[in-house]
């Protein structure tokens, strides 16, 4: 089942970011893990074997397997063998396609307890970042005072009860994580160097507070619930500020179970 979120613009130009979400097991690997494991390179399988905790191992297998299959079958025409794709990482760990050079679609992966999220962008998306968190995650919302910008701290504090405040914190956190993952710096970029406005909307706006981060990119953001009980965010940089960007959500579990990914 697909759901669509859209940032409307004055221009008819359209662009789609496809978001796939998959269940990851915290114990024995299931059908999704088995399918994704078959997509991995020998090195990735070896790396997966180094994880002592089943949750982390399963998330690694699904994340890499989803990327390979989705890039090979949905970003290429004609499709290519997923295991033939060579992946590498940038300085701070952001993955990218090293080979084939013609496969230029942006992509990003995020995982949390029970869910793996994979975003595949269009060729006109220069940068893409995704992040997902479980709403039930035990979170110290006072971390906002240390890491968020003053407007975001005020936003989190505006919620009186503990659960709403935790959800507000995670809403901001996923937006921030999506942005720093998109630019490829991770937590090397201070989270207070940028702030989000209209946080309660499905398409928040960013304010760059440190001019060193202002590279002239046109950013669009989405925050949404891929399924319960999770909150996610997407950051995408596009060439044309008037382009209409849409999110297309798809359940990877259902497609694996139906055999339509074969």
pLDDT tops 80 at residue 124: no
Q: Whole-prediction pTM value?
A: 0.92
pLDDT tops 50 at residue 249: yes
pLDDT band at 230 (very low <50, low <70, confident <90, very high): very high
The structure tokens listed for 81 are 């063998």
Distance CA 78, CA 55 (A): 34
Instruction: Give the mean pLDDT of the chain.
Output: 91
- Give the least confident one: 136-140, 189-193, 205-209, 239-243: 239-243
Domains defined along the chain, listed by start:
3-258 (3.90.470.20)
Question: Parallel, antiparallel, or unpaired for β 14-23 and 244-251?
Answer: parallel
Mean predicted confidence (pLDDT) in 74-81: 87
pLDDT tops 70 at residue 184: yes
Judge whether 130 and 234 are in contact, CB under 8 Å: yes
pLDDT tops 90 at residue 243: no
Distance CA 50, CA 12 (A): 48
Q: By three-state DSSP, how is residue 18 classified?
A: strand
pLDDT band at 36 (very low <50, low <70, confident <90, very high): very high
Looking at per-residue confidence, does 255 or 192 come out higher? 192
Per-residue pLDDT tens digits for 64-75: 999 999 999 988
Share of the chain above pLDDT 70, in %: 93
Mean predicted confidence (pLDDT) in 2-28: 79
Instruction: Tell me what pLDDT residue 239 has.
Output: 80
Instruction: Tell me what pLDDT residue 11 has.
Output: 47
- Give the least confident one: 5-14, 53-62, 240-249: 5-14
Instruction: Tell me what pLDDT residue 45 has.
Output: 94
Judge whether 239 and 124 are in contact, CB under 8 Å: yes
pLDDT tops 60 at residue 8: no
Q: Report CA-CA distances (Å) from 212 to 128, 157, 194, 209.
A: 19, 28, 11, 9
DSSP 195-209: EEESTTSSS-EEEE-
pLDDT tops 60 at residue 93: yes
């Amino acid at each position: 089942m697909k759901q669509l979120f859209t940032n409307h613009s004055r221009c008819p130009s359209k662009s789609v970011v496809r978001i796939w979400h998959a269940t990851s097991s915290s114990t024995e690997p299931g059908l999704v893990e088995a399918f994704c494991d078959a997509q991995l390179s020998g090195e990735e399988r070896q790396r997966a074997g180094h994880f002592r905790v089943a949750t982390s191992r399963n998330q690694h297998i699904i994340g890499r397997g989803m990327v390979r299959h989705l890039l090979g079958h949905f970003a290429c025409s004609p499709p290519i063998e997923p295991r033939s794709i060579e992946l590498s990482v940038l300085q701070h760990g952001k993955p990218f396609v090293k080979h084939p050079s013609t496969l230029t679609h942006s992509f990003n992966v995020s995982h949390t307890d029970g869910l793996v999220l994979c975003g595949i962008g269009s060729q006109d998306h220069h940068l893409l970042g995704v992040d997902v968190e479980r709403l039930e995650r035990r979170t110290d919302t006072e971390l906002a005072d240390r890491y968020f910008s003053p407007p975001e701290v005020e936003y989190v504090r505006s919620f009186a009860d503990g659960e709403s405040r935790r959800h507000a914190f995670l809403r901001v956190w996923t937006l921030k994580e999506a942005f720093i993952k998109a630019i490829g710096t991770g937590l090397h970029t201070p989270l207070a160097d940028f702030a989000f406005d209209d946080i309660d909307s499905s398409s928040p706006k960013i304010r760059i507070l440190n001019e060193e981060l202002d590279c002239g990119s046109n950013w669009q953001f989405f925050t949404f619930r891929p399924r319960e009980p999770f909150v996610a965010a997407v950051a995408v940089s596009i060439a044309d500020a008037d382009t209409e960007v849409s999110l297309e959500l798809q359940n990877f579990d259902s497609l694996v179970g139906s055999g339509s990914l074969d």
